[in-house]
Amino acid sequence: MSNPHSNSSFTLEAQTPLNGFNQSFDGIQVSELLGHSLVSMAMPEDKKSALAENIKAAYKTDLPEVGKFTISAIDNMRILGLQQEQCFVLFENEAVYKNGNAVSHIQEKTKDAAYLSDQSDSWAMLKISGENAISALERVCPINLQPTSDPSSFDTFSVTRTSMEYLGVIIMQLSKQGAENEYLLFSPRSSADSFLHMILTSIENVS
Amino acid sequence: MSQQNRLNKDKSSGFIDRDKTIHFNFNGEQFEGYQGDTLASALLANDQKLVARSFKYHRPRGIFTAGSEEPNALMHLRTGAYQEPNVRATVAELFEGLEARSQNHRGSLKHDLMAINDFLSPFLTAGFYYKTFMWPKAFWEKLYEPIIRQSAGLGELSGQEDPDKYDKGFLHCDILIIGAGPSGLAAALAAAQAGSRVILADEDFVMGGRLNNETYQVNEMHGAAWAKATLAELASMDNVRLMKRTTVLGAYDHGIYSALERKTDHLSASDIAYNGNKPRQVLWRIYSKRAILSAGSTERPIAFPNNDRPGVMLAGAVRTYANRYDVAVGQNVSIFTNNDDGWRTASDLVAKGVTVQAVIDSRDIHPVAEIAGASIEMGAHVIDTKGRHALQSIQLSNGKTYDTDCLAVSGGWNPNVQLSCHHRGRPQWNEDILSFVPSGDGSGGLPPEMHIAGAANGHLDLSSALSSGYELAKSLSKELGNASKVGGCPKAESESIANSAFWFVKTDTKSRSWLDFQNDVTTKDVRLAQQEGFTAVEHVKRYTTLGMATDQGKTSNIPAMAVMADNEGKTIPEVGTTIFRPPYTPVSIAAYAGRSRGKEFRPTRLTPSHRWAKEQGAEFVEVGAWMRAQWFSKDGETHWRESVDREVTQTRNSVGICDVSTLGKIDIQGRDAGEFLNRVYCNTFSTLKVGMVRYGLMLREDGFAMDDGTTARLGEHHYLMTTTTANAVGVSRHLEFCRQCLWPDLDVHVISATEQYAQYSVAGPNARKLLQKIVDPEFDISNEAFPFMACGDITVCGGTAARLFRISFSGELAYEIAVPTRYGYSMMKTLMQAGEEFDAVIYGTEALSVMRIEKGHAAGNELTGQTTAHNLGMGRMVSKKKDSIGNIMSERPNLIKEDANRLVGFVPVDKSEKLSAGAHFIQKGKSAITENDEGWMSSVAFSPSLGHSIGIGFIKSGHQRMGEIVTASNLLQGKEIDVEIVSAHFIDPDGERLRV
């Protein structure tokens, strides 16, 4: 997974945290999320309204509540409400391996209403889906992923921070309730190998 | 003859599958059983009465129960590394090829050499080990202790690594139902029909509880058939999770329960392999909104002389083996009871065609039933038994003797209250059933949102058990907003549960009546403990070992309390219970560890250049969760020092490269970011110019140094802080606390950027020349344009965004260059490639440490949490023009006194000597005692630049004692070296190299 750049003498090649991992198991598909950028968006208290307006104007969507994410067809963007005053913005970015344009890309939309920090290289991003995905995840994930009628249940458009096997993980529920289970997991890049191993061990233990 | 005790040989009844014969091995002998047997039922079917030896006296012991309360029949199961000790045969499912061995004997089970202990029993009474083995003193270590260690304990571990896999998991439900007996099944059905999400857990491999062991009718069908139908209905519902072979072990806060699911314990090795070597057991954490404890009840014995012989069993177990497993545990059975339930055993056995010799009831009442062919002895009790390896006869208080090979004893039933007490609740005495029941809601003690149903709550008759579970589940579901229509409550007849308070047979002082079979505790032991002053129930437990070990006194506690009460002239509730703690039944340590074993004990963090470093043959060291390259051995180097010396020398002479990505990086933005940093650092940052870096020292509230690092100002409202590797998380958490809790009015936002950048130190006289080869030409990094402590955004290799910081830990001309982590591996290779013409060297953490000691920089060894800015020689950094965390407290007189420890350098007087970290400084001529201690050596290294050992450390008034000779005393190594106090800056004290 590379996109070389060079001056006259040297070339830098990009590598993704999980080397483009993509594999199917018995009722479970696992693949690294590629071609996306992730930007942290901190919201000053006195500029929240302005930010919401700017986001609405640019992406036709709202800022999320904490624990939820909103979506936009533009850039296939998702805004993850992770805590008060801070969201993550996940979006498709073909140029992600060409230059560090993630912050500037978002800043064009938010203008000066948010403090932005590139997180694209901070996380290993893994998509896990399929009918047995919940069985595998319940071996490591303390979040209740079963669909329930409880308003606080973790269903479509839910996102939260949690920990799995001592690793910090952000988990998002991507699919609609009742449809095929599909989750997106983020874990720190430096421990990407342990992260993938943890998920694969869970799959092996249930499939 | 095979399975000679199997009943109904011509037809299949109970829960065994006679079409599936299973072969197993016990103590080297081959036996047969059937699918659906436990090891215990199969052994009894094969007339194996003697299966164990007791713990202390090595008395012959047989199977006593039919459940997890079993005190006697503990076995070694499997062989080799798979061997597991102390498995209760009563809950071990039989499988093809099972190998079991009895334990706790020397020689054969039948001829145990240690049985001599039984003859020595007068000397081995309760607490004997507190009174003996005192003399002669020298015998303790050489004789007594080895013998005791060899004799103590039950089973033996294999001594090999457990090859099985284990896992953990998390489950969620509206209602957790613990126990799938009558009340549990009724509760599960009601809750599930109401719409609640239900988990039903049961330790047995067939759900149904006592319905499978009895001949009760429910809804006008056999109880077991009703259980089967109910389970089928539950299994078809999406909102129900049935978990057989699952023991709920403990009740914790917030409705959380632990449960162990035995996934493959019932499978043969070939079946386990066929199924892909899945985890043997899974330890679940179950989050519940409500819990219903329907764990049933456990029968208790009656204590009478020699009541521990093989063949003496609980009455409920005897009929369980008959009804569920089609096994007659004796050909000539007698029953000794103090209650009506004991008579049910007699009638069930007769119905199965088993001869009942006598029914002995301690109550002087009219016989409860007619038992065909049996003598009825009312108002009598058993006063002795005979039979060496198996029961042969019993003697009664009325002088009669009966030849019998099985005595079924029933002393009444105890609700299984353990889980209800895991929040320190004390159960309450219920005079109707003569036992303890869980404390009610509101009286304190029940785990929040735990509710009790069925026999566990004292509803010992079937009808009450069913209705209590049903009503409770309906009500709790409604509370949770699940009110779909529920079917009717299952109906059953109410059987008689009348009982009496007959706990033990009073005897002369010579007889031994067993209370705790597992620990060989008799009524005499309890009396002795109380005579010796251990009157409290907890003290009696500790002194006698009553109620300890694998069964935790499930059958022994209540009879023992009755003995205590009798001795003290108290009632049983006045004696009280001991504390119940998790786990309910034994759990292997491996199950607690789950998959976190060996390399998987914790996650590993790898640097961006890890793969490259590995390719170069790096030796790695664990730094927290990080794996960092320590040094890089080259061909011909035989000692790590050679590698490190080379790396240092080459860096100081030309240029070296080190991966410093592990340092914490925290992105700080906001209009008040400068003010925020002024408050968290003891020195000032609001005045730092954009494009510059400053060293900062962070103090704790108590004024001691917390962490240090550099912080760069990237923009008017944008800073990037670096922390030490070890404190990265701690500092980040500290900043969040300050931001959110201390100063929420400040406009400042922080986020970790540690993982975002691969960062490399490029140090040495040729550092700039090397970087100029990769930094894009539009960026001027000359000394004039990019001076010491400058920073800025640049691009490298034709447009890749990067950041450059001109900072130095080594004391050389140095930079740290950061690129997005995706380029980390490539950047490492590129730097080395670009550095080839300068003979660039890669260096690891050892060389890094040598160079920082040569430069006198403090690191983790100096920032221990017990040193101050004053100690570190940075007292003047604590700005008095502003307030900051720790500023005031750092001025405490004792912290800034003139003779406080100061960080200085040390060199050995004899340069060939090697310094050692941890040595303490003593004035010359004084002895190395605490009173003369003046400080300690914190870091040492061999300096290839100077050619001898150097160190830095703290010594009283160190800065005023330059040139003084003191003794560095290392008592651990038995070494004393004379050292000279020198400046901590061994290399380039004026910092000229940094600024070229």
Residue A13, domain member (yes or no): no
Instruction: Over range B234-253, report the average pLDDT.
Output: 97
Residue B942: predicted pLDDT? 98
Residue A12, domain member (yes or no): no
Q: How many Cβ atoms sit within 10 Å of the Cβ of residue B75?
A: 26
Instruction: Find chain B residues with C-beta within 8 A of A117's C-beta.
Output: 667, 669, 751, 753, 756
Q: Which two tokens stand for residue A19?
A: 């080397």
List, edge to edge, every strand of the sheet that includes B618-623: B605-606, B626-632, B618-623
Computed from CA positions of residues B307, B309, B315, B316, in that sequence, does the dihedral angle turn out positive or negative?
positive
Instruction: Find chain B residues with C-beta within 8 A of A140's C-beta.
Output: 168-170
* Closest residue of chain B to A194, computed from CA coordinates: B603
Q: Which of B596, B820, B834 has its CB closest to that of A10?
A: B834
DSSP notation for B594-608: TT--GGGGS--EE-T
Q: How confident is the model at residue A11 (pLDDT cuts 50, 70, 90)?
A: confident
Least trusted range by pLDDT, from B319-333, B443-457, B752-766, B966-980: B443-457
Residue A28, domain member (yes or no): yes
- Chains A–B, number of C-beta pairs less than 8 Å apart: 162
Instruction: Over range A107-123, report the average pLDDT.
Output: 95
Q: Which two tokens stand for residue B452?
A: 């009790």
Pair (A25, A51) in one structural domain: no
Q: What is the DSSP pairing of strand B375-378 with strand B355-361?
A: parallel
Q: Which of A100, A141, A149 has its CB closest to that of B801?
A: A100
**Best residue in A205, A206, A207 for a mutation probing chain B (most B CBs within 10 Å):** A205
Residue A106, domain member (yes or no): yes
- Segments forming the whole domain that contains residue A70: 36-118
What percent of chain B is predicted at pLDDT more than 70?
Answer: 99
Instruction: Find chain A residues with C-beta within 8 A of B596's C-beta.
Output: 165-166
Instruction: Over range B647-672, report the average pLDDT.
Output: 98
Q: Which of A6, A140, A167 has its CB closest to that of B797?
A: A6
Question: Is a pLDDT exceeding 60 seen at residue A113?
Answer: yes
Instruction: Find chain A residues with C-beta within 8 A of B481's C-beta.
Output: 149
Question: Is a pLDDT exceeding 70 seen at residue A160?
Answer: yes
Residue contact B604–A14, C-beta within 8 A: no
Instruction: Find chain B residues with C-beta within 8 A of A44's C-beta.
Output: 670-671, 747, 749
How confident is the prediction for chain B on average, in pLDDT? 95
* Closest residue of chain B to A121, computed from CA coordinates: B756
Residue contact B797–A7, C-beta within 8 A: yes
Residue B424: predicted pLDDT? 87
Residue A2, domain member (yes or no): no
B389 backbone dihedrals φ, ψ, rounded to 5°: -100, -5
Question: Between the CA of residue B415 and those of B215, B320, B455, what are the distances in Å?
Answer: 21, 18, 6
Residue contact B169–A138, C-beta within 8 A: yes
Least trusted range by pLDDT, from A101-115, B221-235, B430-444, B570-584: B430-444
Residue contact A5–B799, C-beta within 8 A: yes
- Which CATH number goes with the domain that contains A150? 3.30.1360.120
Pair (A97, A133) in one structural domain: no
Residue A98, domain member (yes or no): yes
Dump pLDDT digits (tens) for B371-412: 999 999 999 999 999 999 999 999 999 999 999 999 999 999
Q: How confident is the model at residue B14 (pLDDT cuts 50, 70, 90)?
A: confident
In 3D space, the residue among B461, B545, B518 whose CA is nearest the CA of residue B218 turns out to be: B461
Domains (range + CATH), chain B? 17-129 (3.10.20.440), 166-297+415-479 (3.50.50.60), 301-411 (3.50.50.60), 505-570 (1.10.10.1100), 663-753+871-886 (3.30.70.1400), 897-996 (2.40.30.110)
Question: Is a pLDDT exceeding 60 seen at residue A177?
Answer: no
Instruction: Find chain A residues with C-beta within 8 A of B625's C-beta.
Output: 191
Instruction: Find chain B residues with C-beta within 8 A of A97's C-beta.
Output: 822
Question: Is a pLDDT exceeding 50 seen at residue A6?
Answer: no
Dump pLDDT digits (tens) for B290-335: 999 999 999 999 999 999 999 999 999 999 999 999 999 999 999 9
Question: Is a pLDDT exceeding 80 seen at residue B201?
Answer: yes
Pair (A80, A27) in one structural domain: no
Residue contact B797–A166, C-beta within 8 A: no
Question: H or E segment at B560?
Answer: helix B557-568
Q: Which two tokens stand for residue B43?
A: 């052994």
Instruction: Find chain A residues with C-beta within 8 A of B777's C-beta.
Output: 7
Dump pLDDT digits (tens) for B144-171: 888 888 877 788 889 999 999 999 999 9
Pair (A98, A126) in one structural domain: no
Question: Between the CA of residue B660 and those of A18, A100, B758, B816, what are the distances in Å?
Answer: 22, 21, 8, 8
End-to-end CA distance of chain A: 29
Q: How close does chain B come to A58, measured CA to CA in Å? A: 23
Q: How many Cβ atoms sit within 10 Å of the Cβ of residue B550?
A: 19
Only one residue has tokens 């094969």, namely B46
Question: Is a pLDDT exceeding 70 seen at residue A12?
Answer: yes
Residue A22, domain member (yes or no): yes
Q: Which of B167, B595, B774 has its CB closest to that of A10?
A: B774
Pair (A190, A159) in one structural domain: yes
Dump pLDDT digits (tens) for B579-599: 999 999 999 999 999 999 988
Pair (A55, A94) in one structural domain: yes
Pair (A23, A91) in one structural domain: no
Instruction: Find chain B residues with C-beta within 8 A of A123's C-beta.
Output: 755
**Best residue in A1, A3, A7, A33 for a mutation probing chain B (most B CBs within 10 Å):** A7
Instruction: Find chain B residues with C-beta within 8 A of A201's C-beta.
Output: 595, 600
Number of domains in chain A: 2
Q: Which of B197, B285, B776 has its CB closest to that of A7?
A: B776
Instruction: Over range B453-463, report the average pLDDT.
Output: 97
- Which residue among A83, A118, A153 closes a domain? A118
Residue contact A191–B604, C-beta within 8 A: yes
- Which residue among A118, A142, A161 closes a domain? A118
Instruction: Find chain B residues with C-beta within 8 A of A193's C-beta.
Output: 604, 606
Least trusted range by pLDDT, from A151-155, B800-804, B981-985: A151-155
Q: Which of B670, B801, B834 has its CB closest to that of A99?
A: B801
Higher pLDDT residue, B7 or B13? B7
Instruction: Find chain A residues with C-beta within 8 A of B606's C-beta.
Output: 190-193
Residue contact B600–A197, C-beta within 8 A: yes
Residue A3, domain member (yes or no): no
Question: Between the CA of residue A116 and those of B141, B677, B752, what are the distances in Å?
Answer: 68, 19, 12
Q: How close does chain A come to B164, measured CA to CA in Å? A: 12
Instruction: Find chain A residues with C-beta within 8 A of B171's C-beta.
Output: 138
Residue contact A99–B747, C-beta within 8 A: no
Dump pLDDT digits (tens) for B711-725: 999 999 999 999 999
Instruction: Over range B952-958, report the average pLDDT.
Output: 97
Q: Which of B197, B279, B823 has its CB closest to that of A205?
A: B279
Q: Which two tokens stand for residue B357?
A: 């010799």
For the stretch B764-781, what's the b/e string if a residue is b when 16 or more beta carbons lie within 10 angstroms of its beta carbon? bbbbbbbbebbbeeebeb
Q: Rounded CA gap, B309 and B493, in Å?
A: 36
Dump pLDDT digits (tens) for B864-894: 999 999 999 999 999 999 999 999 999 999 9
Q: How close does chain A come to B647, measured CA to CA in Å? A: 25
Q: How close does chain B come to A21, measured CA to CA in Å? A: 15
Q: How close does chain A come to B793, measured CA to CA in Å? A: 11
Residue contact A117–B753, C-beta within 8 A: yes
Q: Which of B167, B170, B756 has its CB closest to that of A121?
A: B756
Dump pLDDT digits (tens) for B249-286: 999 999 999 999 999 999 998 888 878 889 999 999 99
Question: H or E segment at B233?
Answer: helix B223-235
* Closest residue of chain A to B628, computed from CA coordinates: A190
Residue A4: predicted pLDDT? 39
Instruction: Over range B358-366, report the average pLDDT.
Output: 97
Q: Rounded CA gap, B941 and B906, in Å?
A: 11
- Which residue among A86, A118, A150 closes a domain? A118
- Which CATH number goes with the domain that contains A94? 3.30.70.1400
Question: H or E segment at A196?
Answer: helix A192-206
Q: How confident is the model at residue A2 (pLDDT cuts 50, 70, 90)?
A: very low
**Best residue in B719, B797, B803, B836 for a mutation probing chain A (most A CBs within 10 Å):** B797
Residue contact B757–A121, C-beta within 8 A: yes
Dump pLDDT digits (tens) for B498-556: 999 999 999 877 789 999 999 999 999 999 999 999 999 999 999 999 999 899 999 99
Residue contact A9–B282, C-beta within 8 A: no
Instruction: Find chain B residues with C-beta within 8 A of A142's C-beta.
Output: 170, 285, 287
In 3D space, the residue among B74, B72, B41 whose CA is nearest the CA of residue B59 turns out to be: B72
Pair (A52, A111) in one structural domain: yes
Pair (A126, A197) in one structural domain: yes
Question: Is a pLDDT exceeding 90 seen at residue B213?
Answer: yes
Pair (A81, A143) in one structural domain: no
Least trusted range by pLDDT, from A44-48, B96-100, B178-182, B945-949: A44-48
Residue A178: predicted pLDDT? 52
Residue B736: predicted pLDDT? 97
Residue A1: predicted pLDDT? 40
Pair (A112, A41) in one structural domain: yes
Residue B1: predicted pLDDT? 58
DSSP notation for B694-750: EEEEEE-TTSBEEEEEEEEEEETTEEEEEE-TTTHHHHHHHHHHIIIII-TTS--EE
Strand intervals (E) in A93-194: 115-118, 123-129, 159-164, 167-173, 182-188
Instruction: Find chain B residues with C-beta within 8 A of A115's C-beta.
Output: 669-670, 717-718, 749
Pair (A163, A201) in one structural domain: yes
Q: How close does chain B come to A74, measured CA to CA in Å? A: 25
* Closest residue of chain A to B281, computed from CA coordinates: A205
Q: Rounded CA gap, B310 and B304, in Å?
A: 14
